[in-house]
Structure 1
Amino acid sequence: MDAYPPPRLRQLTRPEEVTPRLREELIDCWEAVVNSGGAVIAAEFPLPPVSRTDVAPVVDGLVRALDPRLGRMLVATVGGALAGWLVVRRDRHPLVAHRGAVNHVQTLPRLRGRGIATALMERATAVAREEMGLERLGIAVRGGVGLEEFYRRLGWAEVGRWPGALRVAPGDDRDEILMALVL
């Protein structure tokens, strides 16, 4: 069995921490994930395939929203290159400021199965609890690709399901599964 080196994890809390090189890697990663059938899409994207032109403005918006209190990006690198990333956010409204959301969890398709997403999610949980003071996290995942099992193994629980809410392609409707984790 091959042993893979653990990914190096880094947290970004301000837009200026995202270098031009990292920005390009984030765009490349997201494009590769979506076009390989990954479940990480954005409302601003067309249905796959997507291009850099589709992805870049969404990445730029996420970068602009980085703020130590409201939104952080975690990146995983292997051999100095981006391997995966995610975003942890909190809402400003005091009614829901005790909880946050994890969004855009992704790893490069060629690096899947190496524990990168698990490492990112475990670090996201710690950051949310210890640094952001959050008490709960939520995530919405696409049914039919095994994501709910991945998150269950990490302690998340399904709290709701919207049958057929996501139309991946004509005739291919998937459930949107809402999951939560108490920190």
Structure 2
Amino acid sequence: MTLTFELDPAVDTALRDGVLALWADVSNAGGAVGFVPPVTPEEIRPALLRHLLGMAEGTTRLLVGRDEEGEVAATAFYTYNSHPLMTHWVWLYTVMVHPGHQGKGYGLDLMAAVEAAARGAEGFEHIEAIRLTCRGGTGVDAFYARAGYKEVGRVPAAIRVAPGDDRDDIIMLLPLR
């Protein structure tokens, strides 16, 4: 089984609910995607609405991966930079693979699809790099390194997961050109 990836899917109720469910499942499994478990889809909804608003405004794009049943199984959101000196690279946010699909190589498949879209899709012609941040102490930085990203910066203790549990904010970059 493999995932099928689509850039800029039509936003409908099924997509919205699928992304919300994925985000909650990933968060509740310990994934570092902006929330600390336990979390419900309703608590995540405002964050998703910000992504969807960006999509409607043309500042954010979604790459979604669907499993054989057509269910949302993976996501990555690209956000263009509005600062005129930084329009040559994009941010990558909310990179997720459903916990039930982890360990099958789908994460690297997702990152390959992210890179392929940024290298070849319309609207990315001027993009020279993808930048992301990740939470230290999770090992996800090693995953991104396997996908070709290099650590280019680190802000110590920038992320407070809980009182007394501060994590580094790791900045990673994938040059495309």
Give 1:64 deviation, angstroms.
Answer: 2.1
Asked if structure 2 preserves the Cα contact closer than 8 Å seen for 1:165 and 1:175, the reply is: yes
- For these two proteins, the number of residue pairs brought into alignment is 172
Give 1:91 deviation, angstroms.
Answer: 1.0
Asked if structure 2 preserves the Cα contact closer than 8 Å seen for 1:28 and 1:52, the reply is: yes
Residue identity in the other structure for 1:94: P
Q: Which residue of 2 aligns with 1:78?
A: 67
Q: Where does 1:112-151 land on structure 2 (aligned, <5 Å)?
A: 112-131=102-121, 132-133=124-125, 134-151=127-144
Aligned CA distance change for structure 1 residues 128 and 70 (closer, same or farther; 3 Å): farther
Distance, in Å, in 2 between the alignment partners of 1:53 and 1:140 is: 24
Q: Which residue of 1 aligns with 2:86?
A: 96
Distance, in Å, in 2 between the alignment partners of 1:109 and 1:21 is: 19
Distance, in Å, in 2 between the alignment partners of 1:70 and 1:122 is: 22
Give the % identical residues.
35
Q: Which runs of 5+ in 2 are unaligned?
A: none
Q: Any idea what the Cα deviations from partners look like across 1:70-129, whole Å, max 9, x if unmatched?
A: 321011111211111110121123211001111100111111112222122111112222
Asked if structure 2 preserves the Cα contact closer than 8 Å seen for 1:83 and 1:116, the reply is: no
Q: Answer yes or no: is 1:62 the counterpart of 2:55.
A: no
Q: Which residue of 2 aligns with 1:10?
A: 6
Aligned CA distance change for structure 1 residues 125 and 69 (closer, same or farther; 3 Å): farther
Give 1:151 deviation, angstroms.
Answer: 0.8
Asked if structure 2 preserves the Cα contact closer than 8 Å seen for 1:76 and 1:116, the reply is: no
Distance, in Å, in 1 between the alignment partners of 2:155 and 2:66 is: 34
Distance, in Å, in 2 between the alignment partners of 1:123 and 1:90 is: 17
Residue identity in the other structure for 1:126: A
Give 1:66 deviation, angstroms.
Answer: 1.2
User: Normalising by structure 2, what TM-score?
Assistant: 0.90
Q: Which residue of 1 aligns with 2:31?
A: 38
Give 1:69 deviation, angstroms.
Answer: 5.7
Give 1:139 deviation, angstroms.
Answer: 0.5
Distance, in Å, in 2 between the alignment partners of 1:19 and 1:75 is: 13
Residue identity in the other structure for 1:119: D
Moved more, 88-97 or 139-148: 88-97
